[in-house]
A and B are shown apart, each in its own frame.
Chain A
Amino acid sequence: MFELVRSIRRHQRLLRDFVVRDLKGRYVGSTMGFFWSVLFPLVNLAIYAFVFRLVLKTRWSDQQPEEQTVLLMFAGIVVWSAFSEAVSRSTVTLVENSNLIQKVVFPSEILPVYLGLSSWVNMCIGLAFVVAGVLWLGYIDPLPTPAVAAAAGDPEYLPLAFGPSLVLLPVLFVLQYLFALGLGYFLGALNLFIRDVAHLIGVFLMVWMFSTPIFYPAVLVERANYGWVLALNPMYWLIEAYRAVLLFGQWPPFDALARFALVALVVLFLGASFFHKSKPRFPDLL
């Protein structure tokens, strides 16, 4: 672990080059570079909104107005995409950079680190849209309180708002980053031993995505007696925390956050140890 931290500090410059290069490749390479990175999540959102909101008529809860649903989904998608991008790219990054690993003494431990940073930058672009949505629907053109909730004086109704809990945002960033990094280290190294991992990870992430309440409210899962799925899913805890902080200005449940932090650190420790232990064999395995 400490050796990894030291190596990352030593190769700061290299790391920066990789991140800059990766972002440039994404945003400068194509003619409408930046536009694509914005368009892609929006199209994603439109599809999911159409399927879940208009066709399947998913409602977050009776108390929440319909307009909030799309924003709730969007926040989930943005966080999930960044996470899954970091994990899936880390899985194949050693193979993709085999030219470097096999031919020069290359600090391969910086590869998942840079992919995590790069995906974080992309997530920030998406989150900016979420923030803009909250600003619009919460302050500039506020949603009317639904009649049902207003009538009942329902305490469960949450208006879109910012609050002091926003200070937790960097903490969420860091925890998410560490969790993805741990998985990335583990899967990246494992993929050299078992190349099928690269193929499995896509399926695995898809199953994971749909078992996480991104397009549907967690309440529905509990009502269907599948609450244990949520209890096992750290990404659910994380995404709910993001929603509480970003959309409603609320403090996330701290026990869930603490659990996530614990899981993230354990995964990072195990993943990084496995990566570090198998690193000398990388050039032979490629």
Chain B
Amino acid sequence: MNAASPARAPAASLAPTRGSAIYAENLSKCYRLYRKPSHRLWDVLFGLKTYQEFWAVRNVYLDIPHGSTVGIIGENGAGKSSLLKLLTGVTTPTTGKVEVAGRVASLLELGAGFHPEFSGAENIRLNCSILGMTSGEIDARFESIVAFSELGDFIHRPVKTYSSGMYVRLGFSVAASVDPDILIIDEALSVGDEHFRGKCTNRINEFREQGKTILFVSHDMGAVKSMCQWVVLMDRGEVLEQGTAEKVADEYLKRAHARGNERLSALNRGSSEYPRWGSGEVEVTGVEMLGPDGVPSHVLRTGEPFSIRLRWKAHQATKNPVFGVGLYRSDGTYVNGSNHHWRDQPLEILDVQAGEEGEVELSADRLALLQGQYYLTTFLYDHSKAAPTAIDHREHVLTFEVLDPKRQQHGMLLLSSRWSVRRRGPGGERQGESLA
């Protein structure tokens, strides 16, 4: 990969490098959006400009040498899929040109290229024929495709009866078995189960070893980073950045950070439709999450310090209000909850007068949550009675996102864990250790 490749093609003088698997120059795709179907008729018949232009891909320059594994990342609607369609030749570019050397097998979307009424077996033949294989070639590979898909008897059922996982299995089996020179994989793979994904990863690694070109599309930075040396970052149809995985990944996270903040603040500003109850003597007037620099943010990073600040205001005198915070994952899993009363050294707020106001803050040195979306619920309960009663309980008061740039652990929680290895053999005993 030519590290000096510009993100956009400034001129047509960039001749295709010898040995390019995929070469695209000044590639753009414009879709015409009609507000009403009849507008298309006026356009077709009289050439009236009754449409709005939508540039799904703009001035893309790509030069991918044979044998490289390239990742394309970007958020939803960044133009990744449109770009792939141009590269595979499904759609024709509005401007620019694409040159692709060799047979391309693509796994664009779930069930793409399948005829829903055809059985799995018929679809295998159909897809192979479309890819230009002869009857002999198809017959030779048919068995191995069926075996790889592990679909069993389902192979003779119409694919419309398949689950999404089965679609992917069939699709990948075909794409991987036709011996393509260039394999293009969209995010579809994430649907498969753990076992099949493992098989796919193995197969993809085999491809890499055979020196084939792989184009991998995802919005999962972790997956792209682990598989690709070269990454292309797209946004709103344009290539923002292309370069080594490390470099582009940083840029991507920065953007994701900014974007996430924008989106989440809009989300959090909206009036809450989540329940809130309590007697109301004291009110929680605001909730903020603060990042390591003490600045309010809706996007935090794994392993960094953070704090949660609750502003409150008393409307009536209250004897013993206790504030608490509950952390939930977006799917509702209760991750953590605490208040300042139930601790080894309880903190008490006693005899609050009407009109008083203030803040309480919960802080931690390390955010032990891994990448994902989470939300907060705040509790304000009166502990002066035998059983605490709600003063101001606010469900789902703030949504925030956690980014994990390292992606070394998977799941929900970051554990400061340690691996150790012991080896015994002829050479004696050896030990190795890796800290978290």
B383 CB-CB contact with A under 8 Å: no
Q: Is A21 an interface residue (CB 8 A)?
A: yes
The reply to whether the CB of B264 lies closer than 8 angstroms to some CB of chain A is no
Contact between chains at A21 and B113 (CB < 8 Å):
no
- Pick the contact of B129: A13, A193, A283 (CB < 8 A): A13
Complex contact A100–B134 (CB within 8 A)? no
Given A17-B125, A102-B90, A283-B91, are A193 and B40 also a contact pair (CB < 8 Å)? yes
Asked whether A204 is an interface residue with its Cβ less than 8 Å from the other chain, the reply is no
A2-29 near B? 1/0 per residue, CB < 8 Å: 0000000001011001000100010000
Q: Which residues on the A side are within 8 Å of B108 (C-beta)?
A: 103-104
- Report Cα–Cα, A97/B114, bound state, in Å: 9
* SS of A interface (majority): helix
CA distance A11 to B125 in the complex (A): 12
Kindly state whether residue B347 has any CB partner on chain A within 8 Å: no
Query: Which residues of B in the span 73-129 have a Cβ within 8 Å of any Cβ on A?
Result: 85, 88-92, 106, 108-109, 111-118, 122, 125-127, 129
- A195 beta carbon closer than 8 Å to chain B: yes
Residues of A92-115 contacting chain B, CB below 8 A: 97, 99-100, 102-107
Listed residue (A11, A100, A280, A283) with the most chain B CB atoms within 10 angstroms of its CB: A100
Q: List residues of chain A with CB within 8 A of the CB of B92.
A: 280-281
Known: A17-B122, A25-B117, A284-B91. A104 touches B106 (CB 8 A): yes
Contacts of B427 in A (CB 8 A): none
Question: Chain B interface: which size bin?
Answer: 20 to 34
Asked, given contacts A21-B122, A97-B115, whether A193 binds B91 with beta carbons under 8 Å apart, the answer is no
The answer on a CB contact under 8 Å between B85 and A283 is yes
List, in ascending order, chain A residues with CB within 8 A of B118's CB. 21
CB <8 Å contact, B31 and A99: no
Judge whether B41 is part of the interface by a CB distance below 8 angstroms. yes
Whether, in the assembled complex, A194 has its beta carbon less than 8 Å from a beta carbon of chain B, the answer is yes
**A104 / chain B contacts, CB cutoff of 8 Å:** 88, 90, 106, 108, 112-113, 127, 130
- The residue from A14, A280, A283 contacting B126, defined by CB atoms under 8 A apart: A14
| A103 and B113 in contact, given A13-B129, A194-B41, A194-B44 (Cβ under 8 angstroms) | yes
A260-286 contacts to B, CB under 8 A, are: 280-281, 283-284
A13 touches B135 (CB 8 A): yes
Residue of B nearest to A22 (CB): B117
Question: Known contacts A14-B130, A104-B90; is A99 also within 8 Å of B41 by CB?
Answer: no
CA distance A102 to B112 in the complex (A): 8
A17 to B109, CA, bound (A): 24
Q: How far is the CB of B2 from chain A (nearest CB, A)?
A: 28
Report which residue of A104, A193, A280, A284 has the largest number of chain B beta carbons within 10 angstroms of its beta carbon: A104
Given A13-B134, A99-B114, A103-B90, 16 other A-B residues pairs in contact with their CB atoms under 8 A: A17-B122, A17-B129, A25-B117, A103-B108, A103-B112, A103-B113, A104-B90, A104-B106, A104-B112, A105-B89, A106-B130, A193-B40, A195-B37, A280-B92, A283-B85, A283-B91
**Interface, chain A (partner B; CB < 8 A):** 11, 13-14, 17, 21, 25, 97, 99-100, 102-107, 193-195, 280-281, 283-284
26 contacts between A and B (CB under 8 A): A11-B129, A13-B134, A14-B126, A14-B129, A17-B126, A17-B129, A21-B118, A99-B113, A100-B113, A100-B130, A103-B113, A104-B127, A105-B88, A105-B89, A105-B90, A106-B113, A106-B130, A107-B130, A193-B41, A193-B44, A194-B40, A195-B37, A280-B92, A284-B31, A284-B32, A284-B91
The 9 closest A-B pairs by CB, nearest first: A103-B112, A104-B113, A14-B129, A280-B92, A193-B44, A283-B91, A103-B113, A105-B89, A13-B129
Which B residues have a C-beta under 8 Å from some C-beta of A? 31-32, 37, 40-41, 44, 85, 88-92, 106, 108-109, 111-118, 122, 125-127, 129-130, 134-135
